[in-house]
A and B are shown apart, each in its own frame.
Chain A
Amino acid sequence: MSASLALDQVDLRVRLGDVELAHPLLGARLPQPVIVSVGGNSPEHYAAVVRALEAHLAAAPAGSCPDIRGYELNVSCPNVSSGLQIGADPAASAAVVGAVRPLTRRLLLTKLTPNVSDVTAVARAVVAAGSDGVSLVNTFKAMALDRETLRPFLGNRTGGLCGPAIKPIALRMVADVAEALPDVPVVGMGGVMTGLDALEFIACGATAVAVGAANFTAFEAPRRILDELRAELAARGLRTPAAARGLALRA
């Protein structure tokens, strides 16, 4: 699947230094804890969003808003000054983490782009800057063509490839990071469609697994994948997911 997805899923209308919190879910009680995905084009953008959310949470009466446990910094956005993906540059990625880290004591994850030759270099940089863990992989930059005109199908010319097509590469990158940084929590993702896929990410060193594209095939996919993961673990005599962690890594 190749998609151009708007990065406004949490619709914070950000003007620098003046953030308006507009998402309807901010006033809702949700049944599950939430990790907020934050995007931006400069360290100041990310900091402005996190600062505004922290202020909102500090002022909100208990139980009146979602249980926000942390932030995932999506560094796959283009940098306003260089135009390059922030996440392709270890120093630029670290600068984003460095701007946000002093603003919150909540969990801070950084979502890494796979569009790099060495994902471990960016992982090391963001962890050194204070990221509690890393999520990977984001989407692969890709193109799709209109079959008749042979012109780019996506309005933005390129989009992000996700889904089952990227799983083998995502597994390798998760394993690279887990081997390079064995003590760092890793959220593995990229084409998780079944419980076996989830188990493979855990075996490659993931401490948690995220499901994206599968939600588009069925809204109840995450629940099914969880049930399948339990069965896959049981079939191998593994009592917990932790028992499977790292089985695919070099000793």
Chain B
Amino acid sequence: MNDGSPEGHTHAELWAETVHGRVAGMRHFGAFSELEIVAPRIAAKAVPGQFVMVTVPGGGFLLRRPLSLFAVRSDRVALLIEARGPGSERLTGLETGDAVDLAGPLGSAFPVSGVASALLVGGGIGCAPLQFLSEELVRAGAQVTAAFGFRDFRAARAAGAFAMERLWVATEDGSVGRRGTVIDILAGLDLPPQTVVYACGPTAMIAAVQRWSLAAGLRGYASLEAHMACGSGSCHGCVVDTARGKLRVCSEGPVFALDEVLP
């Protein structure tokens, strides 16, 4: 009792204790970088949609960064990172063999069972969790179609990090794929009825996918992005309005039913 854990649970299960990982590889795709970390305990438990809190190595950054699981490969987890500020810049500058602390897996998962056809919609760095999801869906026998939207050519190079059979790309400047947004792709797709929509990206994209899905009569899930301090439900820094009231992106989410989020 006095070690802080109710009977039957270990600290690691309850609190996502810090794991001391080791960088196994780094690949750069334009504005995005894929960081692969040896972290067996996290890799063994993770399911698509979940995230990890990553310590920026080298000091100077107090808060950990919430990053979606991009892929899980045996004892390794891969993260897709867009360098947006000094913290993410340092993370994308890591090299094989570097030490990196992380905790997880955290948050809710994308449901995948019983899905025959899935439409994955991603915007920018929001595409990150959809690779892991795609692999689980394919393993579960689903047919997967993906539509990703990026700002420009440099961002669209991130598509090269993904391994999907049917992946459509749109860029706002028309430099890669279709000119426009993911919604312009969706209009041209021929999808089976009962297709389940999985969306992750900026708020405006989630709202557009929500409207499109409603009109198309499709149900689905949305994974929301948020700034987080703790990543574990205690700081309430990532609360969003939903049809179920105010919920925490880190704990009740990041995956919500598409029709319950209110972007």
Give the number of chain B interface residues (Cβ < 8 Å). 27
With an 8 A cutoff between CB atoms, is A5 at the interface?
Answer: yes
Q: Do residues B85 and A31 form an inter-chain contact, with CB atoms below 8 A?
A: no
Q: Do residues B4 and A1 form an inter-chain contact, with CB atoms below 8 A?
A: no
With an 8 A cutoff between CB atoms, is B241 at the interface?
Answer: no
With an 8 A cutoff between CB atoms, is A117 at the interface?
Answer: no
Q: A6-B239, A147-B85, A219-B18 are in contact. Are A32 and B62 (CB under 8 A)?
A: no
CB-defined contacts of A31 to chain B, threshold 8 Å: 1-2, 4-6
With an 8 A cutoff between CB atoms, is B113 at the interface?
Answer: no
Q: A29-B6, A31-B6 are in contact. Are A217 and B239 (CB under 8 A)?
A: no
In the docked arrangement, what's the CA distance between A6 and B232, Å? 14
CB-defined contacts of B15 to chain A, threshold 8 Å: 219-220
Q: Do residues B103 and A218 form an inter-chain contact, with CB atoms below 8 A?
A: yes
Q: Which chain B residues numbered 42 to 87 have a C-beta less than 8 Å away from chain A?
A: 55, 62-64, 85
With an 8 A cutoff between CB atoms, is A15 at the interface?
Answer: no
In the docked arrangement, what's the CA distance between A147 and B89, Å? 15
With an 8 A cutoff between CB atoms, is B208 at the interface?
Answer: no
Q: A29-B6, A31-B6 are in contact. Are A216 and B229 (CB under 8 A)?
A: yes
CB-defined contacts of A32 to chain B, threshold 8 Å: 4
Cross-interface CB contact of A8 among B4, B5, B62, B236, cutoff 8 Å: B236
CB-defined contacts of A215 to chain B, threshold 8 Å: 230, 234
In the docked arrangement, what's the CA distance between A1 and B62, Å? 7
Cross-interface CB contact of A216 among B2, B85, B235, cutoff 8 Å: B235
With an 8 A cutoff between CB atoms, is A64 at the interface?
Answer: no
The residue among B18, B101, B246 with the most chain A CB atoms within 10 A of its own CB is B18
With an 8 A cutoff between CB atoms, is B17 at the interface?
Answer: yes
CB-defined contacts of A130 to chain B, threshold 8 Å: none
With an 8 A cutoff between CB atoms, is B11 at the interface?
Answer: yes
> Nearest 3 pairs between A and B by C-beta?
A6-B236, A219-B15, A218-B18
Q: Which residue of A lies closest to B7 (CB)?
A: A31
Q: Do residues A217 and B64 form an inter-chain contact, with CB atoms below 8 A?
A: yes
Q: Do residues A9 and B17 form an inter-chain contact, with CB atoms below 8 A?
A: no
Binary flags per residue of A150-173, CB closer than 8 Å to B gives 1, else 0? 000000000000011000000000
In the docked arrangement, what's the CA distance between A163 and B63, Å? 10
In the docked arrangement, what's the CA distance between A3 and B238, Å? 11
Cross-interface CB contact of B230 among A6, A163, A164, A216, cutoff 8 Å: A216
Q: Which residue of B lies closest to A163 (CB)?
A: B62
> DSSP class of B's interface residues: helix, strand, loop or mixed?
loop
Binary flags per residue of B1-37, CB closer than 8 Å to A gives 1, else 0? 1101110000100011110000000000000000000
Chain A interface size, as a band, is 20 to 34
With an 8 A cutoff between CB atoms, is A223 at the interface?
Answer: yes
With an 8 A cutoff between CB atoms, is B111 at the interface?
Answer: no
Binary flags per residue of B218-232, CB closer than 8 Å to A gives 1, else 0? 000000000001111
CB distance from A57 to the nearest CB of B (A): 20
With an 8 A cutoff between CB atoms, is A104 at the interface?
Answer: no
Binary flags per residue of B232-249, CB closer than 8 Å to A gives 1, else 0? 101111010000001000
Q: Do residues A220 and B234 form an inter-chain contact, with CB atoms below 8 A?
A: no
CB-defined contacts of B62 to chain A, threshold 8 Å: 1, 163-164, 213, 216-217
Cross-interface CB contact of B237 among A3, A8, A218, A220, cutoff 8 Å: A3
Q: Do residues A220 and B11 form an inter-chain contact, with CB atoms below 8 A?
A: yes
CB distance from B214 to the nearest CB of A (A): 28
The residue among A3, A4, A5, A217 with the most chain B CB atoms within 10 A of its own CB is A217
Q: Do residues B4 and A219 form an inter-chain contact, with CB atoms below 8 A?
A: no
With an 8 A cutoff between CB atoms, is A242 at the interface?
Answer: no
Q: A5-B235, A29-B6, A31-B6 are in contact. Are A216 and B18 (CB under 8 A)?
A: no
Q: Which residue of A lies closest to B101 (CB)?
A: A218
With an 8 A cutoff between CB atoms, is A145 at the interface?
Answer: no
With an 8 A cutoff between CB atoms, is A30 at the interface?
Answer: yes
Cross-interface CB contact of A219 among B103, B236, B237, B239, cutoff 8 Å: B103
In the docked arrangement, what's the CA distance between A9 and B229, Å? 15
In the docked arrangement, what's the CA distance between A216 and B246, Å? 21
In the docked arrangement, what's the CA distance between A215 and B103, Å? 12
Q: Do residues A216 and B64 form an inter-chain contact, with CB atoms below 8 A?
A: yes
Q: Do residues A220 and B236 form an inter-chain contact, with CB atoms below 8 A?
A: no
Q: Do residues A1 and B229 form an inter-chain contact, with CB atoms below 8 A?
A: yes
Q: Which chain A residues numbered 218 to 250 have a C-beta less than 8 Å away from chain B?
A: 218-220, 223
Additional A-B contacts beyond A6-B236, A216-B235 (13; CB < 8 A): A3-B237, A5-B235, A6-B239, A8-B246, A31-B6, A163-B62, A164-B62, A216-B230, A217-B63, A217-B64, A218-B18, A220-B11, A220-B17
Cross-interface CB contact of B234 among A9, A30, A163, cutoff 8 Å: A9
In the docked arrangement, what's the CA distance between A8 and B231, Å? 17
Q: Do residues A5 and B236 form an inter-chain contact, with CB atoms below 8 A?
A: yes
Q: Do residues A30 and B6 form an inter-chain contact, with CB atoms below 8 A?
A: yes
